Amino acid sequence: MGDSLTHIQALEHWRSALTHADQINTDPATLKLYARSTQPVSTTPGAILYPRSREDVQTICRIANQFKCPLYPIACGKNWGYGDACAPTEGITIVDCSQMNAILEINDTLGYAVIEPGVTQQQLFEAVQAQAPEFWMDATGAGPNASIVGNVLERGFGHTPYGDHVQSSAGMEVVLADGKILETGFHHIKDNRVAHLYPYGVGPMLDGLFSQSNLGIITRLTVWLYPKPEDFSFFYIKVDNEAHLPQLIDALQKLRIQGILPSAVHLGNDLRILSSHSPYPHDVAPPGKAIIDAHRKNMREEQGIGIWNVSGSITGTTAQVRANRKVLHNAIHGLGTLTYVNDQKLALAKKLLRLTRGIKFGKRLTRQVAALEPNYGLLKGIPTDAPLQGCTWGLADAPEHCSDPLEAHAGFMWLSPVVPAQGTDITRLLDLLNPIFHDHGFDMLCSFTLINGRAIISIINMLFDTRVPEQCKAASDCYDAAMQACMDAGYPPYRCSPQGMAKLYSPDDTFWHSTQRIKKALDPNQILAPGRYIPLNGEDA
Amino acid sequence: MGDSLTHIQALEHWRSALTHADQINTDPATLKLYARSTQPVSTTPGAILYPRSREDVQTICRIANQFKCPLYPIACGKNWGYGDACAPTEGITIVDCSQMNAILEINDTLGYAVIEPGVTQQQLFEAVQAQAPEFWMDATGAGPNASIVGNVLERGFGHTPYGDHVQSSAGMEVVLADGKILETGFHHIKDNRVAHLYPYGVGPMLDGLFSQSNLGIITRLTVWLYPKPEDFSFFYIKVDNEAHLPQLIDALQKLRIQGILPSAVHLGNDLRILSSHSPYPHDVAPPGKAIIDAHRKNMREEQGIGIWNVSGSITGTTAQVRANRKVLHNAIHGLGTLTYVNDQKLALAKKLLRLTRGIKFGKRLTRQVAALEPNYGLLKGIPTDAPLQGCTWGLADAPEHCSDPLEAHAGFMWLSPVVPAQGTDITRLLDLLNPIFHDHGFDMLCSFTLINGRAIISIINMLFDTRVPEQCKAASDCYDAAMQACMDAGYPPYRCSPQGMAKLYSPDDTFWHSTQRIKKALDPNQILAPGRYIPLNGEDA
């Protein structure tokens, strides 16, 4: 809370400056809600502020700056697995932007939406369906209630051809620590007609400064919408032989770089898939022990999944999709079993399902269709909380359905090393991490996403119960060891939780020193999210 | 030259610090060479330094910083039409990086090249052909001898599907004003294996700061190479009816946003095309007068070109190219005459040409093939100086072939407003600019490039003789009027010459103030290219 006298003074000023009494909350019960985390340790804020407009954000910043009272801005606070709504430091004032949830514009000719930070995936999805039906939104796996802006600023990725959000955003409005408004790209040029269409503007590009950092509060963002393709085909490759993985990765890399597969391609190991669709085998894996291999094999067979499971989509004109399906088929021949699903086939499966309900075969089909449909939708930009279902796996009291991991006390730390899209590197990463997870008693849930034609973002995950201190300790230790191993091996993370950030810094790194100099230039009083990505101390990173 | 005593001291220190005597040049004849410009006004430098290594650049910066002696870094100095090698201010010391021309790595699996600033387009092109024949380099129209790094930093664009160089670069090494080395993306993370493959790194993205700015000297850049497609088809659309232009733009926009046309699409007006391939009609257009419409029509007919001329390419698998050609054909039906050219067809035309040489029909075919081939090649990433040929049009002593506009005394100012990719906006821009050019007595050479699926970069050009003060004055006035008209209409430029920069600023713009604060943080003594894009004075932009 820093100096509590200044904190009290700042609170008084915020109280009188903000229009509504409920825009400020210091109720201990509320603060405790914001202190919940998927991480082993969390921090408790000193107050929550709820701006309703850009002007509110400016007011909040000006007062914070006057009293040198630090702020931690969040969009909707759903930074699952990476620190959630929690600041790196205790007692800070959270600026919760979730009430700034206006969709300011949807353009159905040039395909873009202009949104505030509180706009959720579900909200934009519905608005795009209604107002620009010829376009798709790109959705991430963060769930329907997650903020789009928050995720873009963390450089999360989606699953349509616009899944790289750095390349499909076009400028933002930012409130700086002193309350001034900075607009990036062409947005700051008066009455211009192109800011939403051409992202780079003229002069230096500043957008990059505001992702994974703490240099401003983003109050508006333009995101591009993907023109609905004429045709869409989902594919699933079941891989039964672990030895095929490197060759498969190399084959997929070639298809990604050639544009045959225009969207991110996702590979999940058996545990990653099982965690979403199969009850945890508590009988054979007591707390602190991983599931034994023999049982994993049984579970795979029961669920009809592979050791590795690849999914993705092919989009384009009907002729393109037809042609590219053939190319994929030939490229992965002998490495796994390829299944294509399109709208007609999915509809047929659902119909079949209704007919077979109740019989044993029907149960398995129910699970398969239930498992398929959300991921199928995600590739078309339809938000889903399916990827969150795996987070409660292993909890003694896991809920039937999870839309908020915090309510379920689900602990999970996403370690996300970037790896060359090459089979040899993937093998090396697995050889590196498997023993670490084993030694700490964790199942290793693992996914690889070919984010572009050259690199893979791995998401490596351990699951634990945040109410059990021993599990928290073990998870934290496992994360640290795995993160260190990844850094040492040359696989730094694409995104990081506060716990991991310290490992990113080295003492003589001009990169981090420069970010600190920029921080000092734009936020000399360290008002915004001190310690978030940009290290705190002067030249001592 | 600022304070000449400190300048002399700095020169002494540079002289003793740099290994070779010829790494520093203050010979007036040399300085005069660097003062040549395509612009109506130019500046003369005080000295030229030639670093041969990153360490030289560091040494140069440290000494400059010690004596507060400003530097103007150039790659190869071929920023044609936007200020060339000239600094915005007189007497500055130029750092010419053209001797730092090592290709540090070419990766033929993951498709990238790591290059120094002096590497030219032709040099990398040849290296890629030899070492990574399965990939294409992306080339811009700046000519074989232009630097790739210099062009990327100006955010120039190329003509393969990797033509957006912001999206196809992956990190850089930068020497800051104090001589320290900053590496962007993952490059600063020790022994990492992914910096060339995943451009964003972890933490804030700093790359954008170093394009169109003056915050560092870039000594290394990773550029991605485009995987050679299975098939390639060039297309040319001849448009004879001016009234079809808006509809054509709308049709092309749709094809670009849908990915049917994966590369930039180029539209040139008749004058733009004629300037490259037809002698200037001095008889009907004396200096200070534009070509009359009736004669333009004759010239078009003689050359077989349209009022508007569209060219571009379709790349992909054979099946994709076949399918997309059909889509293009249907989309532009009735708007112009579409011709496809592929390698076979071009070879046939050349063969035919040899057979018909000498007869009248043969002459016209010679011109057409000669005109076609370089542009055809550019779409495959083959550097060419063909786009530079138009720059000498109208000069009384225009050379037969121009590879250096400065030697020919060619004057031209590229005004490059960004416009929505919508027919109505293009019409509005033309209606705005035509009278301005007419009133100033200039032919308006005009091209529109659909740089993405949403925006067009226009390149509007006036030609003059830099030896004729009246023509310089008229060009400068015309540029100012046209630039102001574009800004007022909401079409700011994607790139700018020093003469235009002042029009980008407005007094209360936090964007420019923030760039100034960042400049002060990274280069407090204003050592690097003072006044380049980032305005000079504190908070007074």
Residues 495-514 of B with CB under 8 A from A: 495-496, 504, 506, 509-514
Structure tokens belonging to residue A18: 């903000």
Contact B215 A204 (CB under 8 A): yes
Instruction: Determine whether A481 is exposed, middle or buried from the number of CB atoms within 10 Å of its CB (0-12, 13-18, 19+).
Output: middle
- Torsions phi, psi for B14 (to 5 deg): -60, -45
d(CA B420, CA A170): 13
Q: Compare B192 and A356 and report the one with higher pLDDT.
A: B192
pLDDT band for position A291 (cuts 50, 70, 90):
confident
pLDDT at B362: 58
Query: Which residue in the set A209, A257, A326 is minimally distant from B227, CB to CB?
Result: A257
Contact B181 A510 (CB under 8 A): yes
Q: Does A207 touch chain B (CB under 8 A)?
A: yes
Q: Which amino acid is at B338?
A: L
Query: Which residue in the set A188, A319, A419 is minimally distant from B194, CB to CB?
Result: A419
Nearest CA in chain A to B161: A259
pLDDT at B438: 94
Q: Kindly state the average pLDDT of the residues A340-365.
A: 73
A518 to chain B, closest Cα gap in Å: 6
d(CA A136, CA A112): 10
Give the CB-side neighbour count of residue A506, counting CA atoms within 13 A.
13
* CA angle (B84 as vertex; B79, B85 as ends), nearest 5: 110
pLDDT band for position A1 (cuts 50, 70, 90):
very low
Q: Kindly state the average pLDDT of the residues A497-519.
A: 95
Q: Kindly state the average pLDDT of the residues A277-306.
A: 86
pLDDT over 90 at A484, yes or no: yes
d(CA B148, CA B104): 14
Identify the DSSP state of A493.
B
Q: Does B304 touch chain A (CB under 8 A)?
A: no
Which residue in B200, B258, B451 has the most chain A C-beta atoms within 10 A of its own C-beta, making it the best mutation to test that interface?
B200
Instruction: Enumerate the residues of chain A whose CB falls inside 8 A of the CB of residue B189.
Output: 487, 492, 504
Contact B176 A510 (CB under 8 A): yes
A126 to chain B, closest Cα gap in Å: 22
Structure tokens belonging to residue B91: 């007497």
d(CA A466, CA A463): 9
pLDDT, tens digit, 9 for 90 and up, residues A47-80: 999 999 999 999 999 999 999 999 999 999 999 9
pLDDT at A286: 73
pLDDT at A293: 85
B527 to chain A, closest Cα gap in Å: 17
Contact B202 A257 (CB under 8 A): no
Long-range contacts (CB closer than 8 Å, 24 or more residues apart) made by A431-434: A432/A485, A432/A486, A432/A489, A433/A460, A433/A482, A433/A485, A433/A486
Residues 404-423 of B with CB under 8 A from A: 418-422
pLDDT at B279: 87
d(CA B85, CA B39): 11
Residues 311-330 of A with CB under 8 A from B: 316-317, 319-320, 322-324, 326-327
For chain A, domains (ranges, CATH) are 4-99 (3.30.43.10), 103-227 (3.30.465.10), 231-498 (3.40.462.10)
Q: Does B194 touch chain A (CB under 8 A)?
A: yes
pLDDT at B2: 47
Instruction: Enumerate the residues of chain B whose CB falls inside 8 A of the CB of residue A324.
Output: 317, 320
pLDDT at B539: 44
Instruction: Enumerate the residues of chain A whose CB falls inside 8 A of the CB of residue B521.
Output: 517-518, 520-521
DSSP B420-471: ESSHHHHHHHHHHHHHHHHHTT---EEEEEE-SSSEEEEEEEEEEETT-HHH
Looking at chain A, the whole-number percentage of residues with pLDDT higher than 70 is 95
pLDDT at A362: 57
Q: Compare A413 and A277 and report the one with higher pLDDT.
A: A413
SS3 A309: strand
Structure tokens belonging to residue A345: 């086939």
Q: What is the dihedral of CA A483, A488, A490, A494, to 10 degrees?
A: 20
Are the beta carbons of A6 and A53 closer than 8 angstroms?
no
Nearest CA in chain A to B250: A109
d(CA B33, CA B246): 44
Contact A204 B188 (CB under 8 A): no
d(CA B145, CA B74): 14
Are the beta carbons of B71 and B60 closer than 8 angstroms?
yes
Structure tokens belonging to residue A215: 């240099």
d(CA B198, CA B297): 51
Which residue in B182, B197, B424, B456 has the most chain A C-beta atoms within 10 A of its own C-beta, making it the best mutation to test that interface?
B197
pLDDT at A132: 98
Q: Does A225 touch chain B (CB under 8 A)?
A: no
pLDDT at B365: 60
Instruction: Enumerate the residues of chain B whose CB falls inside 8 A of the CB of residue A316.
Output: 259, 320
Which residues, including other chains, have CB under 8 Å from residue B101's CB and lie 6 or more apart? B116, B117, B118, B119, B120, B123
Alpha carbon of A141 to those of A389, A407, A456: distances in Å? 11, 18, 17
Nearest CA in chain A to B452: A198
pTM of the model: 0.96
Q: How many helices (H) and strands (E) does chain B have?
A: 16, 19
pLDDT at A45: 96
CB atoms within 10 A of CB A14: 21
Q: Does A40 touch chain B (CB under 8 A)?
A: no
pLDDT at B374: 76
pLDDT at B123: 98
d(CA B532, CA B89): 9
Contact B190 A506 (CB under 8 A): yes
Contact B534 A203 (CB under 8 A): yes
pLDDT at B442: 94
Q: Kindly state the average pLDDT of the residues A272-295.
A: 84
Which residue in A217, A250, A320 has the most chain B C-beta atoms within 10 A of its own C-beta, making it the best mutation to test that interface?
A320
pLDDT at A347: 83
pLDDT along chain B (541 residues), means of 10: 77 96 96 95 96 98 96 93 90 97 98 98 98 97 94 96 96 98 98 98 98 98 97 94 98 96 95 89 79 89 92 93 95 94 83 70 63 83 89 89 90 97 98 96 95 97 94 96 98 95 93 98 97 78 42
Query: Which residue in the set B204, B422, B518 is minimally distant from A213, CB to CB?
Result: B204
Contact B259 A110 (CB under 8 A): no
Contact B454 A197 (CB under 8 A): yes
pLDDT at B42: 92
Query: Which residue in the set A200, A418, A454 is minimally distant from B155, CB to CB?
Result: A200
pLDDT, tens digit, 9 for 90 and up, residues A80-113: 999 999 998 899 999 999 999 999 999 999 999 9
Instruction: Enumerate the residues of chain B whose CB falls inside 8 A of the CB of residue A175.
Output: none
